[in-house]
Structure 1
Amino acid sequence: MTTAANRPVRIGAQIAPQHASYAKIRETAAELEDLGVDVIFNWDHFFPLHGDPDGLHFESWTMLAALAEQTSRVEIGALVNCNSYRNANLQADMARTIDHISAKESGVGRFIFGTGSGWFERDYDEYGYEFGTVGGRLDALAENLPVISERWGKLNPAPTRKIPVLIGGGGEKKTLRIVATHADIWHSFSDALTLERKLGILEQHGTAVGRDTSEIEISTEVAKRSVAEADEQYDLGARLFTVGISGPHYDLAPVRDWLSWRDAKNS
């Protein structure tokens, strides 16, 4: 079983698909793969989250399919998909298709199914989805994940590998229960003290559902954190560290710095 003790540090770069042309996004993805990042993420929204709320913006899943074709080494996924926007069986089929697109010469796909319950109300209002409640959206995520897994078992051709499921969010009663039940990777924006507390709660949920949660890869955002803070998260077992970058220019200097930190940790 893979646990934090024998899992290498990985760096993921999240290309926020906002305020930039697609040509710039494509160029940035190529640069990130050349730099040696482990994962390229985008996000699943329909409008910018920062800056001009009506600025340039592109859709997540079609972009992921393009990135799957463009790249050859990095894993790819959304940080995170919104479960509310698409039928569960359709999500599974889209994920399986991108898994195959990304397989290339190795025959093994590179797609990570990052998902969450959704939270940005404008997306819902302008695209005609029912916003509902936080609890209702989390219940829907919990209901859909087994449907997605079941559909993966029915598709022809099947996925090239067991597609890793990344779940984002830090809610202690519902989200972490879903993580304990379904996730291969758990992503949050927690500082070290918060992460330590939530890991304890995650372990309790794991006991309740019969899961050893030490096998779940712990992911956290470090774009605005110091090396000392990242070291604290590392000591708690975090191994996937994500760096968010945004258009129009996509500054890659922080990514380079974190890649150097990764290499030092893994040496």
Structure 2
Amino acid sequence: MTTAANRPVRIGLQLQPQHADYAAIRRAASEAEELGVDIVFNWDHFYPLYGDPVGKHFECWTMLGAWAESTTRVEIGALVTCNSYRNPELLADMARTVDHISGGRLILGIGSGWFEKDYTEYGYEFGTAGGRLDALAESLPRIEKRLAELNPAPTRKIPVLIGGGGEKKTLRLVAEHADIWHGFGDVEIASRKVRILDQHCADVGRDPAEIERSVGVRGNPEDSGDGLLNAGITMFTVAEGGPDYDLSTLRKWIAWRDAQQS
């Protein structure tokens, strides 16, 4: 079962907070909003993932608080928060706070974490991939519980986005907890992941139509957009890094989105 017929096509932009001054990042977020993007994401790392390994880099959630004030329409969020870096109750409180600052525009993106340098340099235990997924499974109910207890409550049911493509554990967690799934891959890979996610939903008694499906994209939408849409993907996210944020690819995907809806 796919959801493409029931959801609007949405375009996201991941502004990777690396190799750039913050002023450039802020300008890019504002430009993307003016262009009509639906969501602006950053990521949750402490060092660049490519290029100069000790190049310029900024922290995720501090930036989201600033974006909550500097933007007015777009949804904002991390693609994705690393579960290992913050106590789940604290993360819930942070999310609720940014939700209020933004007037109800936060998406709580979360994943199990993978970038070992972040862990070792900042004093977190890296452990194993399985152990980090188990920790995420333990954290998600705690986050949900804390969000329900906070005063004031969030302005809305904050959408939870879970990133990752693990077929046994991650997609099961998506079926149990997420409003949005985000993954990577071509049409064939995305189609497979969607089928597996649908089966997990059936196994836990969840309507798969409740979960928005998202993938990272690059290049021209004419090459993959229709195929991904037919596979049930309705959110398409372009990633751009600093120092200069070239939004030409984003413009193409926004135009493609608009053509789907005309």
Q: TM-score, normalised by structure 1?
A: 0.96
Is residue 232 of structure 2 the alignment partner of residue 237 of structure 1? Answer: yes
Q: Which residue of 2 aligns with 1:259?
A: 254
Counterpart among 86, 110, 114 of residue 109 in structure 2: 114
* Contact kept? 1:46, 1:57, Cα under 8 Å: yes
Matches of 1:146 and 1:74 in 2, distance apart? 27
Is the 1:17–1:246 contact (alpha carbons within 8 Å) kept by the matching residues of 2?
yes
Q: Report the Cα offset of residue 228 of structure 1.
A: 2.6
Closer, same or farther: CA 226–72 of 1 in aligned 2, 3 Å: closer
- Within-5 A mapping of 1:156-167: 156-167=151-162
1:228 maps to which residue? 223
Q: Who is 2:39 aligned against?
A: 39
Contact residue 44 and residue 81 of structure 1 kept, 8 A: yes
Displacement of 1:226:
4.7
- Tell me the residue number matched to 1:131: 126
Partner of 1:25: 25
* 2:87 is equivalent to residue 82 of structure 1: no
Query: Match of 2:173, as an amino acid?
Result: I
Tell me the equivalent position of 2:204. Answer: 209
- Residues 80 and 110 of structure 2 are in contact (CA less than 8 Å); yes or no, is this contact kept in structure 1? yes
The worse-fitting range, judged by mean Cα deviation, of 153-162 and 27-36 is 27-36
Q: Which residue of 2 aligns with 1:106?
A: none
Aligned partner of 2:72 in structure 1 is: 72
**Aligned equivalent of 2:183:** 188
Q: Which amino acid aligns with 1:29?
A: A
Cα deviation digits, residues 64-118 of structure 1 (max 9, x gap): 0000011110000000000000000000000000000000xxxxx0000000000
The alpha-carbon deviation at position 40 of structure 1 amounts to 0.3
State the Cα distance separating 1:198 from its structure 2 match: 1.4
Q: Within 2, Cα distance between the matches of 1:32 and 1:140?
A: 34
How big is the shift at 1:225?
5.8
From 232, 249, 252, the counterpart of 2:244: 249
Q: Which amino acid aligns with 1:112?
A: I
Q: How far off its partner does 1:21 sit?
A: 0.2
The 10-residue stretch of structure 1 (201-210 or 233-242) with the greater mean CA deviation from structure 2: 201-210
- Give % identity: 66
Deviation for aligned residue 1:39? 0.2
Q: What CA distance in whole angstroms lies between the structure 1 residues aligned with 2:125 and 2:16?
A: 24
| Residue-by-residue CA offset, 1:44-79 (whole Å, 9 max, x unaligned) | 000000110110000000000000011110000000
- After TM superposition, give the deviation of residue 229 of structure 1 in Å: 1.3
State the distance in 1 between where 2:124 and 2:234 align.
35
**Aligned mate of 2:192, from 178, 188, 197:** 197
Asked if structure 2 preserves the Cα contact closer than 8 Å seen for 1:4 and 1:214, the reply is no
Query: Which amino acid in 2 is paired with 1:79?
Result: L
Helix, strand or coil at the partner of 1:4:
coil
How many residues in Structure 1 have an aligned counterpart in Structure 2?
261
Contact 1:46 1:123 in 2 (8 A): yes
Moved more, 81-90 or 227-236: 227-236
CA contact (8 A) 1:206 1:212 kept: yes
| Aligned: 1:171 with 2:169 | no
Q: Distance in 1 between matches of 2:135 and 2:249?
A: 36
2:4–2:230 Cα contact (<8 Å) kept? no
Match of 2:14 in 1: 14
* RMSD of Structure 2 on Structure 1 (CA): 1.1
Structure 2: give runs of 5+ residues left out of the alignment.
none
Q: Name structure 1 gaps, 5 residues minimum.
A: 104-108
Hey, what's the Cα distance between the residues in 2 that align with 1:192 and 1:142? 28
Length-normalised TM-score, structure 2: 0.97
Q: Which residue of 2 aligns with 1:99?
A: 99
